[in-house]
Every structure is written in structure tokens, then in C-alpha cells.
Amino acid sequence: MTKDECKKVVLDIIADIAPDEDLSNVKPDVRLRDQLQLDSMDFLDIVMELRKRHGIEVPEADYMQLASLDSSAEYLTPKFNALAAKR
Amino acid sequence: MKPARIVITGVGLTAPNGNSLPEFRQNLLNGIAGIERIEVRYMGQQLAGVCHYDALKYQKKKEIRVGTRAGSISIYCAREALADSGVQFEGMAKDRIGIYIGCTEHGNVETENEIYGISKFGYDTKFWSHYHNPRTVANNPAGEASLNLGITGPAYTIGAACAAGNLGLIHATQMLRLGEVDFAICGGVSESIHTFGIFAGFKSQNALATHEDPKKASRPFDKARNGIVISEGGCLYTLERLVDAQARGAKIYAEIAGYHVNSDASDYVLPNPQRQSECIRAAIGRAGLQPRDIHIVNTHATATPLGDIQECEAIRAVFGEGCPETSINNTKSYIGHAMGAAGALELAGNLPSFDDLTVHPSINVDDLDPQCALPGLVLNQPRKVAKVDTILNNSFGMLGINSTLIVKRFLP
């Protein structure tokens, strides 16, 4: 998985948990909370959906890694690739 | 000191056969029921009353996703009632508004969904939603309405089984009289059709209706009745002290005349006609009326073989043969049993009788059970009457809770 593909995975999840938001111009280097109406429960949703849909675990200590699309991709892409390698 | 006079100034509702009072009333007069078949988890096709209101009228998609169906119904009904009341909501002191919503049960839908959800993950509870607790707390429907409306006064639910809709209005009346709030949004809601447990429970009690034609399935008083049709729905009212309503020139639907709540203390599920008649009599007495002064009795009858007979026994004991101006009807024949919303919806369906002097009938009575043959029963066709000054609404529930609410035509 590339980092761009990883960003798409995260954006697809956000599209479901924040269905009123326009996601066409999300800036990858800006904090998601600064450009979208997302609260702490929504971030727990992102964590839950990564677990449910993709088997990816994000420990609480790493939640801050999901702050922006860029940081999410930086953090999650190796996890996705490690998981793919196991399969 | 006489208690403050309390009046109904707005109605917001969603029923299986209407999403506003005019639409609901028209369908009650036209004999149009709203029962359909739905897929119920583990149980296949079942009969149910489903509401088709536009949730997006007052909620964002995210609110609907995060919240509950009962919360959504509450928001819709509360907003509709406020709009109907004509109150200038923006200028109101939000901490002086109370939200009191009756519920039969709350939380089963979400808990069932979560258990079903984790069953797909080997029952690993790390897949259990972080929304489960806010969705299942008993105050959820009222809390969601307070969030949506920015109301900061007391907002909570009243658990009273299927008497809960009446209890919402009764509790609001009490809080207005106590001066706890200046304006109340009250009534009842139900999301019950979204839990398989209630269907399975009634089926295990042999109390779940079946019929090849869904719209004929709910048939109180008919010999062939075979149980309850479960429905969702909601009906919330705006209640105010008369002086406040008059000061703002509000339209007044009716005045609260009297009420009573009691308990059977005799069985978990079987009704007790003695206690029911005591409840009805007490409400009439507290309204300063006699049974012959009641012009419409809206029954609770749910179409169970025994329950209908027992309520008729209670009504017969109070009204007997000496109340020629008393008409008796039933609303569940159209919409099924809307549980916590039932009492509030059924009262609303009768309120227009003050203006049109017409009593909506009970439908689906092809062969009247002689044990339910009350004098004054209005069957299958609406009845024009000379006078409607009072409406008495019965709502009873499991664990033996009985409620009777009487409203009267508003006369200054």
C-alpha cells in the first residue's frame, strides 16, 4: 500500500463517520480537527473502523498519529504493509 | 389555592399513518391504517407500524448516525410541536424549558445491535461501540432533543411501560404547576420495532398479531383479534400555564382537566380491571366531572384476547348504561401499539374532535366480540356527535401501571 492509498482508506472512513462534511478539499498536512467537524468520539470511530475493516490496531498512546492525513499515512502505511506481508 | 390551569398549545407527531396532526387525523377519519411487513433480525417478516418522517428535516446525517431512533423521533416531534405552537423559540429562556418524554423501554435496540455486531468478531468486546452508553442511557431520547434544540432545562424520560405517553403529559403538568419550568415539551416516543426482543417476547406470550393483510392485523374488540402489532412513533406536545399562553396569544388545543395514575400490584403482565376502573374514576373525580360528562373515551385496548375484555369490563364499571353522550373508540386499530408513544398519539388523534364534532372509529371490527360490546363504541365509520367537551385517554402498561388523562375544551 502506498501512502496515497492509505490516505484514501482514512478518507473513506471519515466519509462514513462525518457524512455531512465536504471531503473534496481536505488538506493532508492540516489537522483534521482544524478543517472538519470532528470530535474525540469521531476519532474513536476512526480507530474502531480501522480495527473492524482492516484489522489495524491503534493503541491509545498513538492516537495523536491520526491528527492529519499525512501523519495518518506516515503511521498507518507500514502497519498495513506489515499486515499484508503476514497474509 | 387552585392549581394553575395548564393548556396544550402545540402538537408534533409521527405515526405509521401520518407525520403531522392534520394528516394523522384525516387518515383516522378515512379508515386508513399504517401497518406493513418488515424484516426482523432472527425472526423474518413481521407486521409493524413504521414511521416515514423526514429525519433530515431537523437533523444532520451525523446526528442520525450517532444518535438513536428514539432520539431522532423525539427531535422531529419536539421541533414540529414548537413550530405548531407558534412560540418565538429563539427568544425563550432555554433553562426554563423542560423536556419530559415517556418511554416503554430504551436501550434494547442498541444493545441488540452491538451484540449482533461483535458476533461477527467472535464476541470480542473490543469491537463494542463507544457510543453504546450514551445511546442506551434511559434519558437518551430527551437528551438528544435537548442537544438538538439547545434547551438547558430539565430533560429526561419517564419509564412507565405503555402508559408512558400519558405520563409525559401528566409529569409536565405537575412541573409547570410546581413552577419548575415555564414551558414544557412532553409526551412519548417509541423505537421498539428496531429490537427483535419485543417481537420475540410478545410471540412467546402468544400475544403477537398475525394476519395476511397487514392493515387488518390490529383489530381491538373484534372476535378474531389475535394480538399486538408493534409500532414505532412519537407525539410531543407543548404545554404552558394558561396565563402564559394567553399572554402570547397562543392557539389552545385543549386544557388539562384531570389525571390519575395507579398500580395494579397484582401481576407482571395481566391487567387488573378493578384497578383500571379505580384509575378512570379517580381521574374523572379529580377533573370535577361525572362519567356522563365524558364525551370521548379513547381505549388502550391492544387487541389481545384477554386485555380488551378486561379494559371493557373496567369501562363498563365506570360508564355503565347511563352515559348516552359518551363515545368510545380505539386508535391502535390503525397504527398498532406504539408503546411509549401510544397514549400521546392516541390523545392527539382525538383532539380535533373539539372542532369537527366527529369521533374517529375503531376499524377492523368485522365481528364484534360480545364481551367488548360497550354502549357508545364507534366502529368502522366516524360518528358525528352533538357535543365534544371532554376526552378521556386510557393508557395502561406492564407491571400494572395505569394512567388516565382527561382534557377538556378550552373555555376562557
CATH, residue A31 = 1.10.1200.10
Q: Which residues contact B151 (CB under 8 A, 6 or more apart)?
A: B94, B97, B99, B145, B185
Instruction: For residues B221 and B351, state if they share a domain.
Output: no
Residue among B60, B121, B129 minimizing CB distance to A20: B60
Is A82 inside a domain boundary?
Answer: no
Is B191 inside a domain boundary?
Answer: yes
Provide the domain limits for residue B20: 6-247
Name the active-site residue from B103, B162, B186, B372. Answer: B162
Q: How many angstroms separate the Cα of A23 from the Cα of each of A32, A34, B220?
A: 11, 13, 52
Quote the cell numbers at residue B122: 467472535
The answer to whether residue B162 is catalytic is yes
Name the active-site residue from B171, B260, B300, B360. Answer: B300
Instruction: For residues B343 and B365, state if they share a domain.
Output: yes
Q: What is the pTM of this model?
A: 0.97
Is B1 inside a domain boundary?
Answer: no
Residue among B62, B121, B126 minimizing CB distance to A19: B62
Bridge partners for B397 per DSSP = B401
A36–chain B Cβ distance below 8 A for any pair? no
B381–chain A Cβ distance below 8 A for any pair? no
| pLDDT band of A87, cuts 50, 70, 90 | confident
What pLDDT, on the 0 to 100 scale, is given for residue A86? 86
- Please give the biggest Cα pair distance in chain B: 65
Instruction: For residues B221 and B271, state if they share a domain.
Output: no
Q: Inter-chain contact A20–B62, Cβ cutoff 8 Å?
A: yes
Is A13 inside a domain boundary?
Answer: yes
Listed residues B221, B247, B273: the one ending a domain: B247
Q: How many angstroms separate the Cα of B156 from the Cα of each of A28, A33, B224, B262?
A: 42, 31, 39, 21
The answer to whether residue B279 is catalytic is no
Name the active-site residue from B295, B337, B360, B372. Answer: B337
B130–chain A Cβ distance below 8 A for any pair? yes
B384–chain A Cβ distance below 8 A for any pair? no
Listed residues B204, B227, B247: the one ending a domain: B247
B121–chain A Cβ distance below 8 A for any pair? yes
Instruction: For residues B67 and B170, state if they share a domain.
Output: yes
Instruction: For residues B240 and B278, state if they share a domain.
Output: no
SS3 at position B178: helix
Is A83 inside a domain boundary?
Answer: no
Instruction: For residues B372 and B232, state if they share a domain.
Output: no
Query: What is the ipTM score, two decimals?
Result: 0.94
Is B212 inside a domain boundary?
Answer: yes
Listed residues B209, B228, B247: the one ending a domain: B247
Instruction: Give the type of residue at B119.
Output: S
Is A30 inside a domain boundary?
Answer: yes
CA B49 to chain centre: 13
Q: Which residues contact B310 (CB under 8 A, 6 or more apart)?
A: B270, B271, B272, B273, B276
DSSP conformational letter for B197: H
Residues of chain B whose pLDDT is less than 70? none
Sole residue written with cell 458476533: B119
CA B157 – CA B159 distance, rounded (Å): 6
Instruction: For residues B310 and B354, state if they share a domain.
Output: yes
Instruction: For residues B67 and B213, state if they share a domain.
Output: yes
Q: H or E segment at B101?
A: strand B97-103
Phi and psi torsions of B151, nearest 5°: -85, 125
Q: How many domains does chain B have?
A: 2
Instruction: For residues B383 and B265, state if they share a domain.
Output: yes
Q: Inter-chain contact B62–A17, Cβ cutoff 8 Å?
A: yes
Q: B257 and B293 in contact (C-beta within 8 Å)?
A: no
Provide the domain limits for residue A25: 3-77
Residue among B62, B127, B130 minimizing CB distance to A52: B127
Q: B240 and B253 in contact (C-beta within 8 Å)?
A: no
A56–chain B Cβ distance below 8 A for any pair? no
Is A87 inside a domain boundary?
Answer: no
Instruction: For residues B136 and B90, state if they share a domain.
Output: yes
Q: How many domains does chain A have?
A: 1
What pLDDT, on the 0 to 100 scale, is given for residue B321? 86
Is B378 inside a domain boundary?
Answer: yes
Q: How many angstroms separate the Cα of B172 from the Cα of each of B154, B167, B178, B241, B360?
A: 11, 8, 10, 11, 27
Sole residue written with cell 364525551: B295
Q: What is the pLDDT of residues A24-61, one digit of tens each?
A: 999 999 999 999 999 999 999 999 999 999 999 999 99
CA A20 – CA A40 distance, rounded (Å): 17
Report the chain B residue with the minimal C-alpha distance to residue A48.
B127
Chosen from A16, A52, A58 to mutate, greatest number of chain B CBs within 10 A: A52
Instruction: For residues B170 and B313, state if they share a domain.
Output: no
The answer to whether residue B132 is catalytic is no
Q: Inter-chain contact B66–A41, Cβ cutoff 8 Å?
A: yes
Instruction: Give the type of residue at B76.
Output: Y
